[in-house]
A and B are shown apart, each in its own frame.
Chain A
Amino acid sequence: GENVEQHPSTLSVQEGDSAVIKCTYSDSASNYFPWYKQELGKGPQLIIDIRSNVGEKKDQRIAVTLNKTAKHFSLHITETQPEDSAVYFCGLGTSGTYKYIFGTGTRLKVLA
């Protein structure tokens, strides 16, 4: 079945530096790759997503890259700010299923 692995589990960066979080998946039928940000005590919120017909997508300081051959996708945050501190989850949508599955999460700390 579908599975997604996420690394690292925790990440500390200095303010202004970049952060990269990577997820790998196993099912080649997976075709939708969202990234969610979860702040303390809140529900996950989508920050960026990418579909399987695109290799890269950027939205201001956030970008996502997808390597379908290697079955991995990554979140890139540049010029990190303290408010970027949160837990980030990668997600997976797969044709023929009626669910999204999520990675184990990365706790990002941006140090001022």
Chain B
Amino acid sequence: EPEVTQTPSHQVTQMGQEVILRCVPISNHLYFYWYRQILGQKVEFLVSFYNNEISEKSEIFDDQFSVERPDGSNFTLKIRSTKLEDSAMYFCASSWDRGMNTEAFFGQGTRLTVV
């Protein structure tokens, strides 16, 4: 069964450092997403990406965040200068349809800890 894969599973970083979270979406999917989940809270939308550009982003996704699809398979989230409050579980997801009426498949997540 196809799946979204994320690496690393756990990342610890010093405050102020840059981190890159990596994702390999399902191969025939066209839409890609990053979500964040602070411990015990809801899954929050960060950004969606289609056709090599951002389709939509939330207020959380400020200038410290960027996304990139550097090749045909990877999809990355970069945080330029991490803050303590960036500590969370980050989920990558993908879907094949633009109509927002098909399933989004989620990866297992990357737990980011900023110290």
* Residues of chain A having any CB pair with chain B under 8 Å: 31-32, 34, 36, 42-46, 49, 51, 89, 91, 93-95, 97-105
Contact = CB atoms under 8 A, between A and B. Distances in A.
Given A99-B33, A100-B45, A46 B108 contact: no
Interface string B91-112: 1010000111111111111000
Interface string B63-83: 000000000000000000000
27 contacts: A31-B101, A32-B100, A32-B101, A34-B104, A36-B106, A43-B106, A45-B106, A46-B103, A46-B105, A49-B103, A51-B101, A89-B43, A91-B104, A93-B99, A93-B100, A95-B99, A97-B56, A98-B48, A98-B56, A98-B100, A99-B45, A99-B48, A99-B56, A100-B33, A100-B45, A102-B43, A105-B42
Given A42-B108, A43-B107, A43-B109, A95 B43 contact: no
Interface string B40-71: 01111100101000011010000000000000
Nearest to B42: A104
Given A44-B106, A93-B101, A102-B45, 18 more contacts: A36-B106, A43-B4, A43-B91, A43-B108, A89-B42, A91-B104, A93-B100, A97-B56, A97-B100, A98-B55, A98-B100, A99-B56, A100-B104, A103-B42, A104-B41, A104-B42, A105-B41, A105-B42
